[in-house]
Structure 1
Amino acid sequence: MALKLIADGLSKNRLVIQLKALRNEFAYKGFEYRGRASGRLLAKQLHDAGVSRVCITVAFNVPWVIDALTKAWEMHSPGMTLVVVDNSTKAEARAAIAQICKMRGVPYLALPMRVEKHLSRSHGTAITWAFHNIVRHLKPEFFGFIDHDCFPVVAFDIPSKLAGKAVYGRRAYGTENHVYKAKPEDRHWNLWAGYCFYRFSAVAAYKLNFEPRINLGLDTGAANWGILYSKLAEADVAVATVEQRPMTMAGAVGHHEFIDGAFFHLAGVSYPERPGYHHRTAEHREMLRDYVWNTYLGGPAGQAVSDF
C-alpha cells in the first residue's frame, strides 16, 4: 500500500509529468520519421484518386474486425473514403489485414513496427502519425478517425454533421482514475479518438496530437485539449449522441454502444488480455464475430477471413 501511495504521488508530480512528456515526445519523433515517405506516397495516391473526405482507422492485431469494418463500409458508406493504417504488432495479423484491404479495394498502409506498452499511447501516436504523414499532405476537405470495431450499420452521412462546424464526434470529459480525480468545475474535454472528425481548413494551423493526458483524466486524443478544443467555441462543435443498446448472445444479454444511432461500437476486441476482458476467450471472440456478421452484415458468406 505504501509503495502504491508513493507511485501515485510521483505520477501526480508536475515535474514527473513533464519529464514523461519529454520522453514520450522524443520517442514519438523517432517513430514519426520512420515510414514518412510511405505516408506521403499514400496521400498522393488518394489525392490523385480525387479523395477529399477521408476516414482513417488504426488496425491492431484483429483481422476479423477489419473484415467486418470494411464490409460494413461497403454496405453503409457514411460519405467518406475508408483508409486502414496498420499498427499491429503481429506479422501474421498485418498480412491478413493487408489481404482483406486488397480484396475490398480499401487503401492500406503498414506503420513502422514498434513496441509500445501503453495501449492508449500506442493508439494515439498511430493516429498522430497518420495526421502528420498522410492528412497534412492530402489536405482533404474533411478527415477523421474511427475505431476499428466501430461499424456503420445504417445509412449515415458524416460530412453533413460538419456543415458549419469545425469538428464533430463523441465527446469525452475528465473522469476519475488512479492518477487524476475530475472535479465538478473541470471543463477539460476531447473528442474520443475512436470517433472524431474535422474540417481540415479549421484545424490546419494546429499541430494535432492524439496522445492521452492522464493528468487531465482524459484518454486517447486528450492532448488536443490544449492544442485545439480549448480554443473552439461551442458553436464550432457537433456532438454525437451515445446510447447503450442490449445485445443478446448465447442466451446472455449485454450492452454495446450506438453512436448517433448508426455506428455499432463493439469495444475492446483487440485486448482480451486486459483487465476487464479476461472473459473474452477464443470461443467468446468467435461468438462476437458471428453476432456482428449475422446481425448487421448479411451473414458469414461475405467474410474474407475465417479466423478471429
Structure 2
Amino acid sequence: MRDLSHYTFTEWLAAAPLAHRLRRARNRLVDRVYGQRPAAGQEALVERLRGAPVLAFTVAFNMPDAVALLADAMGRFLPGTPLVVCDNSTDDAARTDIARLCAGRDLPYCPLPPSPYRGKRNGSRSHAVALNWIVANLVRPAAPGVIALIDHDLIPLGPEDFVQRVAGQPCYGLVRHGTGNEAWYLWPGYSVFDFGRVAGTPLDFGTDTPLTLDTGGQNWDVLYRTLDLPRLRMASRRRVYLADVETGESEHFMLTDNWLHVGGAGHRGGGAGALARVRRAYDADPDGLLASLLASGPP
C-alpha cells in the first residue's frame, strides 16, 4: 500500500486513502476466504507435484484451444517441465473440455473453486485470487524448486530453462512499472520464482490500485521493493508481426524472450480468431516460427 505522504491534497479531499485501505482490506478478506475452499483432487495433485525441481502453472480461462496449443508447444520445447493447468473457467462446457484435454495428455489438472469474481470487469481480481489460491494450496505444500507462472495464451517457440532463468536471483520475468512512481512488478503471465528463496515471503498477487500496479502488484511491497532491479536479469520484449498462413494478412503480437503472447484470448473481441491464426502458423512450421517472427516487420 502506498505511503500516506504520497497522496495529493486532492486525493485527501476525496478520501482516497481511506477508500484504498478499505478496498485492500476487503480484497484480503476475499482472498483468505477463497483460499480456504478446497478443489476436487487437491491432495492427490499435491502429492504428484511434491518436490518437483520445476513446475509451470497456467490459469486456464474458458479457452480449451489455448490450453491445447500451450500444452503442445511446451511438450515440444520444454518436455521436462510439467504444465499444471489450474482451471478458472466460468463456462461449464469449457471446464469439461479442459479437464478432458488434460486427462488425455496426462497433464496435472486442478479445477479451481468457482471464483468470487465472475464479471469481465473483475478479470484482474479473478486472476489474482486464483494465483493466491494456487500458491497457498498447491505450491507451498508441494514445495517445488522453481515455479513459473504462464498465461494460458503465451506460447513457447523455443527451448526454455526456468531454473537457469533464476540462477543467482529470486525471480525473473517481464517487468511492468507503475505510473508516476518507482514501483514495479512482474507480469504474472510470465514470471519465474526460485521458490526456495521466496518460500518465506508472503507472496500476494493482488492488484495495487494506488500504485497503478495490476495483478501481481502487491508483491512490490513484500518482495520486489527489496531488490535492485538494474542488477537483475529480466525478460526482453518486442513487437513482432505474424502473417496469416491462409489470408496473408499481418497482425502484431508481443514476443517476450522466446514466448509469443496471443493476448487476451479469453477476453478481447477477436481473441479466438487471433489464437486460431497463431495455431495455423505454429502447425505449419513450429520449429521455424520463432526465426520468422524475429525477422518480421510492419506490413
User: Which TM-score tier does this pair reach, normalised by the shorter chain?
Assistant: 0.7 to 0.9
Which residue is 1:177 aligned to? Answer: none
1:24 and 2:19 aligned: no
Preserved CA contact (<8 Å) 1:68 1:297: no
SS state of the match for residue 210, structure 2? helix
- How many aligned residue pairs are there? 274
Report 1:242-261 matches (<5 A): 242-249=237-244, 250-260=247-257
Aligned pair in 2 of structure 1 residues 173, 58: CA closer, same or farther (>3 Å)? same
1:41 and 2:44 aligned: yes
CA distance in 1, matches of 2:47, 2:68: 25
Report the alpha carbon displacement of residue 39 of structure 1 after superposing the two structures with TM.
3.5
Aligned pair in 2 of structure 1 residues 281, 206: CA closer, same or farther (>3 Å)? closer
Which residue is 2:85 aligned to? Answer: 84
Q: Which amino acid aligns with 2:52?
A: V
Aligned pair in 2 of structure 1 residues 285, 265: CA closer, same or farther (>3 Å)? closer
Which residue is 1:4 aligned to? Answer: none
1:263 and 2:267 aligned: no
Preserved CA contact (<8 Å) 1:256 1:266: yes
Preserved CA contact (<8 Å) 1:124 1:211: yes
The answer to which of 31-40 and 81-90 deviates more is 31-40
Match of 1:293 among 269, 277, 283: 283
Preserved CA contact (<8 Å) 1:78 1:156: no
Give ranges in structure 2 of 5+ residues lacking alignment: 1-10, 289-299
Preserved CA contact (<8 Å) 2:40 2:111: no
Which residue is 1:238 aligned to? Answer: 233
CA RMSD for the aligned pairs?
Answer: 2.5
Give TM-score, length-normalised by structure 1: 0.82
CA distance in 1, matches of 2:208, 2:67: 28
Aligned pair in 2 of structure 1 residues 199, 296: CA closer, same or farther (>3 Å)? same
Aligned pair in 2 of structure 1 residues 112, 203: CA closer, same or farther (>3 Å)? same
Report the alpha carbon displacement of residue 217 of structure 1 after superposing the two structures with TM.
1.3
The answer to which of 10-19 and 213-222 deviates more is 10-19
Report 1:134-213 matches (<5 A): 134-174=138-178, 182-183=179-180, 186-213=181-208
SS state of the match for residue 239, structure 1? coil
SS state of the match for residue 214, structure 1? coil
Which residue is 2:125 aligned to? Answer: 121
Residue-by-residue CA offset, 1:244-282 (whole Å, 9 max, x unaligned): 11112233222111111x11111110003xxxx3xx176
CA distance in 2, matches of 1:295, 1:173: 35
Aligned pair in 2 of structure 1 residues 236, 51: CA closer, same or farther (>3 Å)? farther
Aligned pair in 2 of structure 1 residues 77, 215: CA closer, same or farther (>3 Å)? same
1:102 and 2:99 aligned: no
Give ranges in structure 1 of 5+ residues lacking alignment: 1-7, 175-181, 299-308
1:72 and 2:67 aligned: no
Aligned pair in 2 of structure 1 residues 108, 198: CA closer, same or farther (>3 Å)? same
The answer to which of 242-251 and 31-40 deviates more is 31-40
CA distance in 1, matches of 2:272, 2:196: 44
Report the alpha carbon displacement of residue 114 of structure 1 after superposing the two structures with TM.
2.8
Preserved CA contact (<8 Å) 2:176 2:186: yes
Aligned pair in 2 of structure 1 residues 198, 61: CA closer, same or farther (>3 Å)? same
